[in-house]
Amino acid sequence: MLIVGERINSSRGRIAEAIETRNAEAIQAEAAAQEKAGADYLDVNAGSFVGEEAEHLKWLVQIVQEAVSIPLCLDSPDPGVIRSVLPLVAQTPMINSVTLEPERLEGILPLAAERGAKLIALCQSEESMAETVADKVEMAVRLVEKAEQVGITPDDLYIDPLVYPLATNPQSAVATLDAVGRIMGEIEGVHTICGLTNVSYGIPHRKLINRTFLVAAMSRGLDSVILDPTDRDLYGALLAGNAVLGRDDFCMAYITAYREGRLGPL
Amino acid sequence: MGDTLAEIRQAVIERQRDRIEGLVREVLDEGMEPNVVINNGLIPAMDEIGKMFTEHKIFVPEMLVSAMTMKMGLEVVKPLLKGAQSEPKGTVFLGTVKGDLHDIGKNIVGMMLEGAGFRVVDLGVDLTVEKLMEQVETQSPDIIGLSALLTTTMPEMERVVQELEARGLRDRIKVMVGGAPVSPAFAEKIGADGYGGDAAQAVELARRLSGADR
């Protein structure tokens, strides 16, 4: 599983405050903790600062890079913001995200292609956010086509089939799971990714739902995920999932995590 | 009859979708006025649900199923309403602003407003100011409720307020706003009439703005 650490996001109050007050220490601690916990990429987001997003994201990129050795996942819907930040990025990044909306397709795709970046692509068009399995798969196919037109191979593309709250549609998670299975089965070489927190909106003990959904999605072929790797129970579920699904040779990663004291109750 | 009314309230609160229609028919057969069933049975039950939700005693799916139960009861009563009785508490336009496709919160607010007796016109997602104004001119709502889940689309809310002002409609039509990145301070800054932090607050606000709480 490819893990994108989600914690450095300005929609979290503490992070927004740290960004605003230029508290590099706080951000770097978040970055280091996620790297240590097993993140492969670190998401950086300054989207809550309307009009100042680029400036804040540039600062985030610079100070996070000082603290970790893993690459970044640049999180903005705005092609202009991505373009202005890219020159500062040391390692080939991931970009989060493109959709089928023309402005984002035309703005983001060439940037990703030019930089050879990995790219998260949401099953969302100008008209709608895909809810049914058929819509999710159809949009995934179109995203892959659009990306290939500018030279981005499926191997650099991470399709997010979108996750909706169970609270308002009890069949929504099944639609996402089915879509993951179909996309992984029908589109050669492409990856799938999703966030987990939406699924549990409005229902109790959200983290239990989140990690159950993660393992269910992994069983359909999900190979990448945006999550908080410092969440011990969640990361444990991920390792256990890998072991159960035959993706952990002789359970070595699981056993190693146990030895390091990273599994089970504290 | 009073007992059955209590049972109707209980059926809504306890989400008894299999019972509600029968109970409503029962009181109507006994001769209760349709508007009494609504105002003393169905609506007070949803008020209680709103309160329970705000107090974190129930979860979103429980609130939704109660709203569905209420609506099933309402559908039985509606055809029997006559003249002034059938007047809603006001018409609320709902929409997610231009550039934004998130509608889950908006839909919950819509169900709760209907549950409180408002006529709700859902104008969907990615709602442009132009399309909204077309509808405003033809249907003349009392309140416009706007939702945004993205910081990038929030400024659209201000455009709606400004357009209403430009058209001289601002005194007549109240504007309420909500959505994850929206705050009371933002609502005030753009000149909206109020902010709802959740569906129950949105109902309270709509009542205050429409004068339905008087």
pLDDT digits over B149-208, tens only?
988 899 999 999 999 999 999 999 999 999 988 999 999 999 999 999 999 999 999 999
A124–B101 CB contact, under 8 Å: yes
Chain A residue whose CA is closest to B198: A202
Nearest-angstrom CA–CA distance, A163 and A141: 18
**Sequence ranges of the domains in chain A:** 1-91, 94-208
> Torsion angle, CA of A144/A148/A152/A156, rounded to 10 degrees?
30
Give the pLDDT confidence score for residue B151 in this predicted structure: 85
The contact set of A with B (CB < 8 A) is 11, 47-50, 77-78, 124, 126-129, 164-168, 170, 201-204
The model's pLDDT over B126-156, given as tens digits with 9 standing for 90+, comes to 999 999 999 999 998 999 999 999 888 999 9
Q: What is the mean pLDDT of chain A?
A: 97
Say yes or no for a CB contact (<8 Å) between B61 and A166. Answer: yes
Q: Is the pLDDT of residue B1 over 60?
A: no
Q: What ipTM was predicted for this assembly?
A: 0.85
Q: Is there a contact between B151 and B141 (Cβ–Cβ < 8 Å)?
A: no
- A-chain CB neighbours of B59 within 8 Å are 167, 202-204
| pLDDT, tens digit, 9 for 90 and up, residues A32-65 | 999 999 999 999 999 989 889 999 999 999 999 9
Averaged pLDDT, A86-100: 98
Using CB atoms, which residue from B61, B107, B152 is nearest to A50?
A: B152
Q: Which CATH fold would you assign to the domain A1-91?
A: Rossmann fold (3.40.50)
Q: Do domains A1-91 and A94-208 have the same CATH topology?
A: no
Give the SS3 label for residue B87.
coil
Residue of A11, A48, A50, A131 to mutate for B, most B C-beta atoms under 10 A: A50
Best of B152, B153, B189 to disrupt the A interface by mutation (most A CBs within 10 Å)? B152
What whole-number distance in Å separates Cα of residue B71 and Cα of residue B19?
13
Residue range A219-258, pLDDT digits in tens: 999 999 999 999 999 999 999 999 999 999 999 999 999 9
Residue A203 confidence (pLDDT) above 80: yes
CB pair distance less than 8 Å for B60 and A77: no
Selecting from 3.30.70.1400, 3.20.20.20, 3.40.30.10, 3.30.413.10, what CATH number does the domain A94-208 have? 3.20.20.20
Instruction: Give which of A168, A201, A203 to mutate to test B binding, by max B Cβ within 10 Å.
Output: A168
Nearest to B151 among A50, A164, A203 (CB): A50
**Ordered domains of chain B (ranges, CATH):** 2-82 (1.10.1240.10), 91-210 (3.40.50.280)
* Region A177-195 average pLDDT: 98
Residues B66-125: pLDDT tens digits?
999 999 999 999 899 877 667 778 999 999 999 898 888 999 999 999 988 899 999 999
Query: Region A107-125: what's the mean pLDDT?
Result: 97
Chain B: closest CA distance from residue A259 (Å): 39
**Using 50, 70 and 90 to split pLDDT, how confident is the model at B213?**
low
